[in-house]
Amino acid sequence: MAKFKKTLLWTIQRYNNLKEQMFRLKPVRIEKQKFLRTQRRTAVVETSAIDKSLITKQCRMVILSSALITAFITFLTTIPSAIWASLFLIIIDVAQFQLLAFAAEQKILYVYGCDDFWNNHQSTGRNIKFLMWFLGKYGLPAKTSIAESAAGFAIRKLISMLMMRSGARILIVNAIRQGIKWTGIIVAHEVLLESFDMIVCIVCASIAGMVSFIQFGQMIRNLEKELSKSGVDKVFREFDEEDSKGEEEEKS
C-alpha cells in the first residue's frame, strides 16, 4: 500500500510538472487588456466599481464558451473506436481540458479585478504556481482529474464492447428496424448492421462530451464562487501562507 501511494504521488508530481510546462505556452496566456476589450470594457475597473450582475454575466459567458469548446474536442477525440487510437486521443483530451481550464481561470480572475499575470516576466513562475494552486484547490484536484478521465474512458469502452457483441447488436438492430418499419420505412437488416458501429461511437462520444461539459463548467464555477465569496486579495493571501509553509517544510 505504501509503495502504491508513493507511486501515485510520483505520478501526480510528474503530471503537475508537465502541466507547468504546458501552462508556459504563449497561446494559453491570456493578456488582460485584450480580454477586457473582447468583453467591451476598454479600461481596467476595480471590482467594487463594477455592477455585480455584470460580473456574473461575464463569468457565465466565459464558462459557457470554454465548456462548449472542451466538450466538442472531447466529442471528436472519443469517436475513434480503435483502442490504440483512443489511448493516444485521451491524452490529447486531458491536455486540452487542462489548458482550456487554465485559460478560463485567468479570465475569471480578470473579471474580478486581478492584475495581468504576464506583465512582469520575473514573476511568471510564481504566477503559474498560483494559478495551478487555485485551480487545484478550488477547482478539480489533479488526481481526481486523472481518475475521472481514466474511469470515463473505461466506461465508454465497456459500453462499446458490450454493444458490439453479436447478440446485443442483433437485438438492438432488430428493435430499431421494427421501430422504423412502424413509421412506414423499410430498412435492410444489413444496412442497419453496417451503420450500427458508427451510431454507437457517436452516442458514446456525445455522452463523453456532455460529461466533459458538466465537469468543466462545475470546476470553473467553483473558482468563481470562491472569488465571489472571498475576493481576489484573500485568495492571494491564502496562497502566500500555504506557499510559505511549503517552503519551510522543504527546508526542514
Distance of CA 112 to the CA centre of its chain: 21
Closest CA to 26 of 121, 142, 134: 121
**What is the rounded CA–CA span in Å between residue 161 and residue 65?**
33
C-alpha–C-alpha distance, residues 226 and 236, integer Å: 12
The amino acid present at 71, given as its one-letter code, is A
Q: How far, in Å, are 23, 26, 122 from residue 118 at the CA level?
A: 12, 10, 9
23-55, pLDDT tens digit by residue? Answer: 888 888 998 888 887 776 544 444 444 567 788
Alpha helices in 2-51 (DSSP H): 2-23, 32-38
Quick check: 68 and 209 in contact, CB under 8 A?
A: no
Q: What is the pLDDT of residues 95-133, one digit of tens each?
A: 888 899 999 999 999 988 888 898 877 788 888 889 988
